[in-house]
Amino acid sequence: MNKIFFVFALIFITTSVLLSQENPVVVSENDLENTSIIENVEETAGNNIDNSSEKLDIKESIISLLRNTAFGGFFPKSEEDIAEEKIKEERSIREKYEIKLHDIQIKKVPLWQNLIMICVGLVLVYLAIAKGFEPLLLIPIGMGGILANIPVANIAAIPVVQVINNIPVTLSAGGFLGQVYTFGIEAGLFPLFIFMGVGAMTDFGPLIANPKTALLGAAAQIGIFGTLLGAMLLSAYVPVITFTLRDAASIGIIGGADGPTAIFTASKLSPSLLGAIAVAAYSYMALVPIIQPPIMKLLTTEEERKIVMKQLRPVSKREKIIFPLTVIILIALLLPDAAPLIGALMFGNLIRESGVTERLSKTAQNEFINIVTILLGLSVGSKLAAEKFLRFETIGILVLGLVAFSMGTAGGVLLAKLMNLFSREKINPLIGAAGVSAVPMAARVANKVGQESNPQNFLLMHAMGPNVSGVIGSAVAAGVLLAILG
């Protein structure tokens, strides 16, 4: 029944996109005046930017990645590199300008499109309440989408500020959802706050006790890079879909099944696709119990699913304190672009494991993350406005997100099977599926599928190893993409 409803929901959204059409944009006089604020930026950037199709040079990408590490001094930049960097910066400013201008314009869309998006919001709320799919997020996202599509109310309108004589003057306060979005999503704060709370709730003990399971979390990230290529192919061969390389990277992160990382990456690389990417990421996270089991059973035999793993060794308090500090130092040296996400995650974990900050730990695990979750969900839902969501690209994102998630699940299972060929202590391949970072749902699914074959087999703690390493892996993958494309 759940599968039938999920398919029906996808068909409903797809039909809505196909029926929608481009509508003229109506811009107020004030908005036209506001464009003069940064017309000089657009003109300057337009003279220097080559709008031809993007090309990714592997050698240059590796060098760019190395320059963003502590060893960047060994790879000095030439004058040509500096000039190219300046052009990229100007292009980034222009893109941000165009997105901001698009957001402050008054869009006129037919009422039926608003009604369609309100129905989409109601579907998300129904999935959360009736089916129990990630209710803590789908209810705020659904309500945000409903509020954003109320005609005339402009609840999701963003604030508009103009600098006059070096003094910022607020021309429009915007709607309350727009204000929350600007503060939390556009500035990139909410994903970091969520990671603090996740770190405070996460026990890295299973990963420390069995470090080789980190490989399973790494293998599950194959969905990210496989989908990046898929998005570029889709854009090349489907005329109505035009994804840039930065868009493809943002969509690929859905494969990590990590909502905050997907939002953080999309807000940096593809803000215009943020709504569709966030909904796809959290929807597929919620549908882990439906999507993963068929893939897990397809790729494993009955005997493999019955494999019993021995109990993990105890992990000392000292190890648990050293682990987050070590990870932060390594990330700072090797991949600073991932430092915000990983740093927030490890800070949250440190206040949990230190034993001397119980009040901070409990606050991060409860009140803090609950408040941020509400604001995050509402602000993401505010991007489900009809003129932004009812596009052909939305179908592409939903399809590619499902492919990414499936590839990540398969990657972890297949690597576990490969490791069993060379390991004396056998690994139950089912725990490889937990390498996607839907914590702890993916680990619970692995445990449940294992117990269907062997009721005495308890895989939950073993599956938490690849599960938490998947959280780190998806953040590292995001850091790599930001270093190369950001």
pLDDT given for residue 329 in this prediction: 92
* Cβ density class 20-54: b for 16+ within 10 Å, e for less: beeeeeebeeebeebeebbeeebeebeeeeeeeee
> Which of the two residues, 156 and 304, has the higher pLDDT score?
304
Question: Helix/strand/coil (H, E, C) string of the chain?
Answer: CHHHHHHHHHHHHHHHHHHCCCCCEECCHHHHHHHHHHHHHHHHHHHHCCCCCCCCCHHHHHHHHHHCCCCHHHCCCCHHHHHHHHHHHHHHHHHHHHHHHHHHCEECCCHHHHHHHHHHHHHHHHHHHHCCCCHHHHHHHHHHHHHHCCCCCCCCCCCEEEEECCEEEEEECCCHHHHHHHHHHHCCHHHHHHHHHHHHHCCCHHHHHCHHHHHHHHHCCHHHHHHHHHHHHHHHHCCCCCCCHHHHHHHHHHHHCCHHHHHHHHHHHCHHHHHHHHHHHHHHHHCHHHHHHHHHHHHCCHHHHCCCCCCCCCCCHHHHHHHHHHHHHHHHHHCHHHHHHHHHHHHHHHHHHCCCCHHHHHHHHHHHHHHHHHHHHHHHHCCCCHHHHCCHHHHHHHHHHHHHHHHHHHHHHHHHHHHHCCCCCCCCHHHHHHHCCCCCHHHHHHHHHHHHHCCCCCCHHHHHHHHHHHHHHHHHHHHHHHHHHC
Q: What percent of the chain shows pLDDT beyond 90?
A: 31
pLDDT in tens, 210-242: 999 899 998 888 888 888 888 888 888 888 788
pLDDT digits (tens, 9 = 90+) for 307-337: 998 888 999 999 999 999 999 999 988 888 8
Q: Which of 149-158, 164-173, 313-322 has the highest mean pLDDT?
A: 313-322
The structural domains of the chain, with segments of one domain joined by +, span 187-485
Peptide bond into 110 cis (omega under 30): no
**pLDDT tens digits for range 237-273:** 888 788 888 888 998 888 877 888 998 898 888 887 8
Nearest alpha-carbon partner for 461 in 314, 259, 317: 314
Q: 235 with 392: CB under 8 angstroms?
A: no
Q: 133 with 286: CB under 8 angstroms?
A: yes
Whether residue 430 is predicted with pLDDT greater than 90 in this model: the reply is: yes
The total of other beta-carbon atoms located within 10 Å of residue 172's CB is 18
* pLDDT 10s digits, 275-288: 788 878 877 777 78
Q: pLDDT per residue over 111-142, tens digit each?
A: 888 898 899 899 989 988 998 877 888 899 89
**CA 380-139-153 angle, 5° bins:** 60
Instruction: Give 83-103 pLDDT, tens digit per residue.
Output: 777 777 777 677 666 666 666
Q: Is the pLDDT of residue 57 over 80?
A: no
Cβ(259)–Cβ(437) below 8 Å: no
- In 10 A of CB 79, how many CB atoms? 7
Tokens 């998806």 -> residue: 474
3-state secondary structure 228-288: HHHHHHHHHHCCCCCCCHHHHHHHHHHHHCCHHHHHHHHHHHCHHHHHHHHHHHHHHHHCH
* Tens-digit pLDDT profile for residues 335-366: 888 899 999 999 999 999 999 999 999 999 99
pLDDT of residue 54: 55
Q: What is the pLDDT of residue 26?
A: 40
Q: What is the mean pLDDT of the chain?
A: 81
Partner residues linked to 161 by β-bridges: 170
**Whole-number Å distance between alpha carbons of 394 and 16:** 11
Residue 31 has pLDDT above 80, yes or no: no
